[in-house]
Structure 1
């Protein structure tokens, strides 16, 4: 699941705070100016968050490389260093909504 970098970075911060952090590996794609979250297979079928894209896979045989899978990309939270194996879609949706509100409020003060 990918989102523009500003919203994605804010969502990572939101997901990592609190008593129960819930974020899996996160990829920062510099050339595309996006942040990608790894979510469970099947998430794309019901994903409808404006300003984001969720690409479906069957999830079978997926191995996370230690090196980023795209040129110019880098792991913001690499596999094994994150709080979990995948990011929970419901929690991600909440974090993205909160991130959008935070960004909107910050921009309105500018």
Structure 2
């Protein structure tokens, strides 16, 4: 059998090919709440990463989402199974990246359409709250 140069076998605890949508923490936390409140939406919220500095949250979404993601104020990158491990600790040490919502607690990835709508609503709520000051 000839090697193609790519490793298709998953390591134990490794994520499949997924994309990661990163957003500012405040907007991300609002989006998590919005998705959870709308329990009837397909799939609900999936695994969410946070960085140790508290600046960003990352939502795991299906592979291919990055190809068409264009929501201002966010970024979507392909992980190709790298950098995201389903076996990582749920409570990371300071300065580390860890799970806000670990995979074993929430299930499958977040639907990109549901996430896009929730992030838009979150941005509007934050803007309204900031304008009330």
TM-score by length of 2: 0.72
Contact 1:39–1:89 at 8 Å: present in 2 too?
yes
Specify the SS of the correspondent of 1:54.
Answer: strand
SS of aligned partner of 1:15: helix
Q: For 1:1-110, what aligned pairs fall within 5 Å after superposition?
A: 1-20=21-40, 22-31=44-53, 33-58=55-80, 64-67=86-89, 71-82=95-106, 84-110=107-133
Unaligned runs of 5+ in 2: 1-20
Preserved contact between residue 41 and residue 59 of structure 1 (Cα < 8 Å): no
Report the number of matched residues: 108
Q: TM-score, normalised by structure 1?
A: 0.86
Using the TM superposition, give the Cα deviation of residue 30 of structure 1 relative to its aligned residue in structure 2, in angstroms.
2.8
Across the aligned residues of Structure 1 and Structure 2, the Cα RMSD in angstroms comes to: 2.2
Gapped runs of 5+ residues in structure 1?
none
Structure 1 segments (4+ residues) deviating >3 Å: 57-60, 68-71
Bigger CA radius of gyration: 2
